[in-house]
Structure 1
Amino acid sequence: MTTETTTAPVPPRLMTPPGVYEPQHDTRLLADALRREGIRPGADVLDVGTGSGALALEAARLGASVTAVDISWRAVLTARFNAWCSRQRVEVRHGDLTGAVRDRSFDLVISNPPYVPSPGRWPPRGAARAWDAGQDGRALLDRVCAEAPEVLRPTGALLLVHSGLCGVEDTLTRLKGAGLSAEVTDRTSIPFGPVLRSRLTWLRGRGLSAADLREELVVIRASKE
């Protein structure tokens, strides 16, 4: 079942310094899906690409034992600070996607990776690392689809959010190819933000810009069940 979601706010007062992704519509959409999972106390949850730690903190509030990973040291320190301020226990590790936790397995993996299509031919620098993901927006998505199943327990699940601009069917196909059952569970439509508006000419040239300048966000749930 796919839900057209009206999102509840992620709890406020998280520090998000320059270069760390500030919780936005996609964060809230994934938080809604996370709350519906019925996380049992002590369940092991992994947040891949944690940024400010917003989703990791939400999982901790639900009673999970949470590990969060980010490749940015600034994000790691930010997530640790936000966990301390929120009085939530979250283990925050520095690493590249699941590389920092290959020795472990989890009941639930959540991820809001960078997914914005970018005209640049080189890896993003500075603040853009938090959202730019190559010309098709899949530089990180494809890796999450490949790596997440390797750290899931036999009854584990993955919750992944990204833009419809990146190819929803491609994500479903990759996850199913990795042996998971995958479906879109949540959808919402939002106006183009400043980054996408600044790339309208390029997006139109690639056939990625809708006439109404709105972006669809989706949550995909994949499981081993």
Structure 2
Amino acid sequence: MTGVALDATAVYRPQQDSHLLIRAVRESVPVVGRRALDLCSGSGVVAMAVAGLGAASVTGFDICAHAVRYARTRASVAGARVDVRLGSWTQALECAPFDVVACNPPSLPTEPGHGDGAPPGAWGAPSTPWNGGPDGRVILDPLCRVAADMLTAGGTLLLVQSEFADIERSLRQLSDSGLDARVVLSDQVRFGTALAEQARWLERTGRLAVGRRQQTIAVIQADKPA
């Protein structure tokens, strides 16, 4: 990957949430011969996994130009047939509908002013790969509202998020949009560096028990009626 440096502030290193999302794709959704979208693609690890499962086509979108360059290089080196593009959900909608949509969006509640020096992303939040705004939902809310428009009839969205961004709210929003939404996988994981940095603030705001340093991550499956 000559000329592409791994910058942790710009490219999300695959962690438990990425691997849980890949597991959900493998276990919950038929992929072979279908048209797939990896939204908030980051390093491209999910897109490449979906391509490896036999999707007819895989398109990735991310708002970070560095991440897009990195993912394109990784896919090229790996020989994966993945089309990674710079853009947000609005650009993804222009390419819709898809049979399978996988998404690992920034869903970490982030203290106002923390990381504001980063360039603004497509949703108006700093384009760090974890910053979901003060409630973790700066991307989740618009995404859940338009998810049905991204899907073919009979299509499926798989969305992974933190408990601190209100999993039940995502389920309600997806259901309200006409999708059959439910949690299909979850796991307890230790805080990574970014969440550890927000721990004291989350404790002060009553969203985290003092001293607790684990979170639940969950994959939501939302199916569009055929």
Corresponding position: 1:163 with 2:154: no
Greater displacement, 173-182 / 127-136:
127-136
TM, length-normalised to structure 2? 0.87
Greater displacement, 71-80 / 204-213:
204-213
Letter of the aligned partner of 2:41 in structure 1? T
Partner of 2:123: none
Whole-angstrom distance in 2 between the partners of 1:67 and 1:86:
16
Q: How many residues align?
A: 212
Letter of the aligned partner of 2:185 in structure 1? D
Percent identity reads: 37
Instruction: Please tell me the root mean square deviation across aligned C-alpha atoms, in Å.
Output: 2.0
Letter of the aligned partner of 2:7 in structure 1? P
Cα deviation, residue 212, structure 1: 3.0
Cα deviation, residue 89, structure 1: 0.6
The equivalences for 1:17-56 within 5 A come to 17-18=7-8, 19-56=10-47
Partner of 1:99: 91
For the 8 Å contact 1:200–1:209, the answer to whether it is kept is yes
For the 8 Å contact 1:108–1:157, the answer to whether it is kept is yes
Q: 2:62 aligns with which of 70, 74, 88?
A: 70
Structure 1 residues 103 and 54, CA gap change in structure 2 (3 angstroms): closer
Residues 50-105 of structure 1: CA deviation (Å, up to 9, x unaligned): 00000000000001110100111111111111110110111111111242442431
Letter of the aligned partner of 1:102 in structure 2? E
Greater displacement, 203-212 / 96-105:
96-105
Whole-angstrom distance in 2 between the partners of 1:169 and 1:62:
30
Whole-angstrom distance in 2 between the partners of 1:122 and 1:201:
13
Whole-angstrom distance in 2 between the partners of 1:53 and 1:158:
17
Gapped regions of structure 1 (runs ≥ 5):
1-13
TM, length-normalised to structure 1? 0.88
Structure 1 residues 90 and 172, CA gap change in structure 2 (3 angstroms): same
